[in-house]
Structure 1
């Protein structure tokens, strides 16, 4: 019911929009590199290009709510003995049941692919022809920002007319930006379009009305071979529309950089903006039925500068697209939005496109792991597959009965180390440690037990089997580490008594390392030293 209320409100808001001075060809938004209708067509100098539309509609006879996504890719590729010019994806989702009707087909040829406007005729493999093009007036001239679409799968057919009702959203102001490590893209969105037409599903045809989103992207950013991402289109009932991305590096990080974080907003006919000072917190995850992929499914979007606080929730977990010819899978499905902008309640609908998949955490206990457990030194572990989209908390447990049972030391630890104060074990006990890493919702989880027991030493004396010299101790300003030999790929962490990592550093090769600790408050600290040849925890006092 909540989705229906949001969808009806969105349709009404779309219908209330009026034609503006921009609704003409040619049209160049102020300060933009994008020209309509020329940039609605194919760009022969760009290697990858796609035409995307998604939306929500209601059947006039059945009253059922549906969402859809249709995309035409220009992406020449050879598969076996065939040469294809691209791919077409058509998805229909029954929003009440989650039934997902998905078909992806190679495009054998584009018999029409205009370079001066939107006129696509795609010949599918092995058969079928579809189109997406401008509607024409009585003189056969293109009607600006009015389109007709006809596409069919073995189960569903859509025949839609789309009429853009808001000024196009030009990302980053001029429609061009760098994306990811070394790519570029031209990008604009038509965030609000009335949708009318018909849907045929399982042989039954009915008229439909709704609202649609159109995206255009062209350049060398390649979703099939490039960095993975999470993308959202959000249409809110206060008239604001948002287009936002998180792009992940190859090692699953999201740098605080506009190349990896971009949010563009249509506010009204005279106000658009693009920012990168926003955060997306993943709140829930799910696995596909075959357990081969895990995606996020609930998010919190916040921006302090724009006073945004929204909860975005996938309506279903069934909407995974599979392009078998490329062995390429991703999630694409409708979302529901609730929250506030400038303190005012808003709700809405949208879409999420998720190419970034998540893994269970891969953990290893680094200290202690055999040998001596010095109770004055923190217990530490490594997360070997960190992911900025999957923050973890850790539970730490111990066993002194050869792993027959484990007892809790601490729970919900945010760091990868913990100082066990007043341990309930005895001098000389053989102790095993277990660390359990868990995502916020418990979907992504794993545990690791130390590979060998450690003999307990409750002495507070420093334990330094590698002979690393640390001086002066206590220290006021500069701490020096001196090694017997040059150490390669040295990593350092300074940890406080609560287990928080306050400083980290990496050095390719050194036998002498100096660290400025003058800004640290007075107290006891631990320095963790690890490389392929050395691993130590040393204790020092800041005076």
Structure 2
């Protein structure tokens, strides 16, 4: 997810301070619930809401307005991952656009394990990001349009892959940390996800264009924080076949390890829950021959408050984007599958797993 730009700063507005207090109270409830064996519900909707529906509880982000750029924030990205199918053939993809003019694009062939990726930086006069609507344009990628008809285009060099997709948001938004105000690296950020995007369009590989359908996930995060405190993180975007969605973090910084998830139900219910640390049960490690980074390829995700255990498997393990930065020479963005139990019942699903920072 995420491209590093070493710019620091803090917001000092009353709303941000109030948000920190509210986000902290949600997090504390989650910790108490994890200890007691109960999850913390933030909201319950009677029927499945759409992405622009008032969630019925206070949030610090607002749709569709916050799809647009936030020029006063030092960090911001639009990060999309998806699982698409052409006939019987399955692919995963990732496209990130940073307001600093950096793109990341990757395509994974789930059948053969073939993987292609690129990170590229552009000069300020080569890209734009509208503050009035969703309209972000780079020379090799763009994302624009309303919630029910977003248009995503991205191309890898030398004809190695071109995506031309329509994304339609059909389910509720996920407000990370239950409010959309998200504690992050000794500061806060604004953060929501659109995890249920009906996806149609085309994928062109080796000169051959094929029609695709599937489901995508858009992550939106912006704010001001201090990258210098970060060591590394594992992040997961998990969609289960029972309709539950998890945005999961296991983050190491100067203050230690933090591990939690925001869980979204199909009816709009949000729960913020503790997750057991991922590292002790991570397996299938492989070392990148390019960067020397050592990444896991299989994780057991245990959520005591939800009586849930999921096994997340990356195929292949190495799906690395070369970042060419001392802080994070590579970022592993792994198309993954999920099996396990949720509240004691069998589930399957798909995921994207990001390993960011120094993994060696």
Q: Which category of TM-score, normalised to the shorter sequence, fits these structures?
A: 0.7 to 0.9
Counterpart of 1:132 in structure 2 is 143
Q: Deviations over 1:310-349 (max 9, x none)?
A: 1111111231111236673111111111110111000111
1:359-378 equivalence runs, <5 A: 359=360
- Aligned partners of 2:193, 2:261: CA distance in 1, in Å? 12
Contact 2:195 2:216 in 1 (8 A): yes
Contact 1:23 1:145 in 2 (8 A): no
1:264 pairs with 2:262: yes
1:41 pairs with 2:58: no
Counterpart of 2:154 in structure 1 is 151
Q: Deviations over 1:5-51 (max 9, x none)?
A: xxxxxxxxxxxxxx9654558x5763111111221111112101010
- Aligned partners of 2:130, 2:335: CA distance in 1, in Å? 30
1:104 pairs with 2:119: yes
Counterpart of 2:233 in structure 1 is 229
Of 208, 214, 233, which aligns to 1:210? 214
Q: Deviations over 1:365-409 (max 9, x none)?
A: xxxxxxxxxxxxxxxxxxxxxxxxxxxxxxxxxxxxxxxxxxxxx
Tell me the CA shift for residue 177 of structure 1: 2.3
Of 255, 271, 274, which aligns to 1:273? 271
1:385-424 equivalence runs, <5 A: none
The 3 A distance-change label for structure 1 pair 119 and 269 is: same
Q: Give the alignment's TM-score, normalised by structure 1.
A: 0.53
SS in 1 for 2:177: coil
Of 96, 100, 105, which aligns to 1:90? 105
Over the aligned positions, Cα root-mean-square deviation in angstroms equals 2.3
Contact 1:244 1:263 in 2 (8 A): yes
Contact 1:321 1:331 in 2 (8 A): yes
Counterpart of 2:135 in structure 1 is 119
Of 196, 199, 205, which aligns to 1:195? 199
Counterpart of 2:99 in structure 1 is 74
SS in 2 for 1:228: strand
SS in 1 for 2:66: helix
The 3 A distance-change label for structure 1 pair 339 and 192 is: same
Q: Give the alignment's TM-score, normalised by structure 2.
A: 0.79
Tell me the CA shift for residue 227 of structure 1: 3.5
Q: Which structure would you say has the larger RCO, counting Cα contacts within 8 Å and 6 or more residues apart? A: 2
- Aligned partners of 1:203, 1:167: CA distance in 2, in Å? 37
Counterpart of 1:335 in structure 2 is 336
Tell me the CA shift for residue 296 of structure 1: 1.6
1:282 pairs with 2:281: yes
The 3 A distance-change label for structure 1 pair 278 and 217 is: same
Counterpart of 2:18 in structure 1 is none
Q: Structure 2 unaligned runs (5+)?
A: 1-46
SS in 1 for 2:179: coil
SS in 2 for 1:152: strand
The 3 A distance-change label for structure 1 pair 176 and 68 is: same
The 3 A distance-change label for structure 1 pair 301 and 130 is: closer
The 3 A distance-change label for structure 1 pair 24 and 167 is: closer
Tell me the CA shift for residue 237 of structure 1: 0.5
Tell me the CA shift for residue 65 of structure 1: 1.1
Counterpart of 2:353 in structure 1 is 352
Q: Structure 1 unaligned runs (5+)?
A: 1-18, 76-85, 123-127, 135-142, 255-259, 360-543
Tell me the CA shift for residue 286 of structure 1: 1.9
Contact 1:120 1:132 in 2 (8 A): yes
1:302 pairs with 2:302: yes
SS in 2 for 1:268: coil
For the pair shown, which has the larger CA radius of gyration, 1 or 2? Answer: 1
Runs (4 or more) in structure 1 with deviation over 6 Å come to 222-225
Q: Judging by fraction of residues, say which structure has more helix.
A: 2
Counterpart of 1:323 in structure 2 is 323
Contact 1:283 1:300 in 2 (8 A): yes
The 3 A distance-change label for structure 1 pair 233 and 333 is: same
Q: Judging by fraction of residues, say which structure has more strand.
A: 1
